[in-house]
Amino acid sequence: MSQSPIIVLPSLLSCDFARLADELAACAAAGASQVHVDVMDAHFVPNLTLGPLLVEAMRRSTDLVLDVHLMMTDPLRYAQSFRDAGADAITVHVEAVGPRAIDDAISQLRSTGAATGLAFNPDTDPCMWFDALAQVDQCMLMTVYPGFGGQAFIPAVRPRIRAVRERFPQLPIMVDGGIDRSTIPLVVADGATRLVCGSAYFKDPDPAALIRWAQAGEYGDV
């Protein structure tokens, strides 16, 4: 078992944005310590969501950790703006940065003052990026192709979770996409510790119970 605690991050992509402040307050009341914020640029992924303006609005209405996931072609151009808006953690995709620019990108990301993360699409092998992962605060493995909430979990990512956990016993490993009551026991057994949960969280009639159950980590045999 890794030493990084299990944390459920409600993904605001599935919340009611007309009631954003209420949704953030409800996440805190349900026991969440962090929320996940999906930034999509209609280029890296075929969807368009939100920018620093909305992160700044979130920051004014909550003390929850804002975990910002940049699904953008040019994430470093905007990282400081998201940090200034109040992002606590910023994760960029290795596919957007590329292997030659990765070390510079990590230094730039770190210089924003945010906690840093690297994200990997389902077809990208994180084992090719271990030197980069050694320099960041979290690894995010996409368990769907990024762009939309409500997609089905891709089980082929599971060996990748195990490979990262084997190499980095203490690194927080985030999984994002299709995370629900049926997949949580599987990904936690593989070594994931940060569970992004969008549609399953916001559809759940008792999200506080979902968080308690998931974070307790006792699921019986899987």
Judged by CB under 6 A, the residue of 87, 198, 207, 214 near ligand DX5 is 198
3-state secondary structure at position 85: helix
Range 34-63, binding ligand DX5 (CB under 6 A): 36, 38
How far is it, in rounded angstroms, from Cα 89 to Cα 83? Answer: 8
CB-nearer residue toward Zn ion: 69 or 160: 69
CB-nearer residue toward ligand DX5: 81 or 151: 151
Closest to 39 measured CA to CA, from 68, 77, 79: 68
Q: Find the part of the chain contacting Zn ion (CB under 5 A) among 18-26, 37-45, 90-98, 202-210.
A: 37-45
Amino acid at 144: V
CB-nearer residue toward ligand DX5: 51 or 147: 147
Where do we find the tokens 């007309």? 18
Judged by CB under 5 A, the residue of 8, 23, 37, 38 near Zn ion is 38
The answer to whether residue 178 forms part of the interface with ligand DX5 (CB under 6 A) is: yes
Amino acid at 215: Q
**Minimum gap (Å) between residue 208 Cβ and Zn ion:** 22
Question: Nearest 10 degrees: CA dihedral of 121, 37, 109, 6?
Answer: -70
